[in-house]
Amino acid sequence: LKKGNISKSEGRYLLSFCNNTSPMFIISYVIWQNLGCTDITLPLLLITLLAPVLLSFLFRLFYHIPKDISCPYVTDIRQNSSKDNTMSLDACIMNGFETITRIGGYIMLFSIGISLIKLIPSANPLITFVLLPSLELTTGVTMICSAALPLKMKVLTTLSLSAFGGWCAAAQTRAMIQDTGLPLFPYIIEKLATALVTSLLIYGYLLLY
């Protein structure tokens, strides 16, 4: 978008279903390590991956993307390709370090915030099971799975959280798109919608399981 290769509406559309939790994280950390549901790994993974795909068709209706798949910016792409090839290896490495540091910094800040909030005495389940786990995905999954909840509730909650990504992921996304002019609020609403659809699909599967 910053190079002018896509329109702003297309950028907003692509943002609506990108930045999803990786399949290996869902399999190894969420399903195997914390939930222990190795026997239903494939169905849970497919449901979690299917939700953003289904919603991408719905979100497309709101952004009025032309049906013509030809790229009107192909001239700009060809012009920029030669410039991209001249980017040095050092620049690529530094860009990678900057991205990793920025993303890792948000994870550390939100994890520290969770630890501090946990020091405040509170028996409110809204804080314990909703607010704190939703701040950061990795810590949140551990908190949910260590709580005295039925297994099906843990499955439903952790995978819905994985679909949303947590508020830490929203902050990371804001940091990555801050120079593009793309709004963050629609992205948050779309990720919450993805979490809702994921929870409904998993609930239906657990009823049949």
Higher pLDDT, 39 or 76: 39
Instruction: For residue 125, give the nearest of 149, 160, 101 by alpha carbon.
Output: 149
pLDDT of residue 65: 66
Distance from C-alpha of 169 to C-alpha of 172, rounded to nearest angstrom: 5
CA distances from 140 to 22, 134, 147 (A): 16, 6, 11
CA distance 80 to 72: 14
Inter-residue contact 118 to 131 (CB < 8 Å): no
Place of tokens 């990555």: 176
Give 110-160 pLDDT, tens digit per residue. Answer: 888 888 887 777 667 677 777 888 999 999 999 999 888 899 999 999 999
Burial label, 159 (beta-carbon count in 10 A; 0-12, 13-18, 19+):
buried
Provide DSSP, 83-140: HHHT--HHHHHHHHHHHHHHHHHHHHHHHHHHHHHHTS----HHIIIIIHHHH-HHHH
Asked if 195 and 160 count as a contact pair (C-beta separation under 8 A), the reply is yes
Q: Residue 144: name the closest of 131, 135, 157 by CA.
A: 157
pLDDT (0 to 100) of residue 74: 46
Mean per-residue pLDDT over the chain, rounded: 85
Q: pLDDT tens-digit profile of 176-190?
A: 888 888 999 999 999
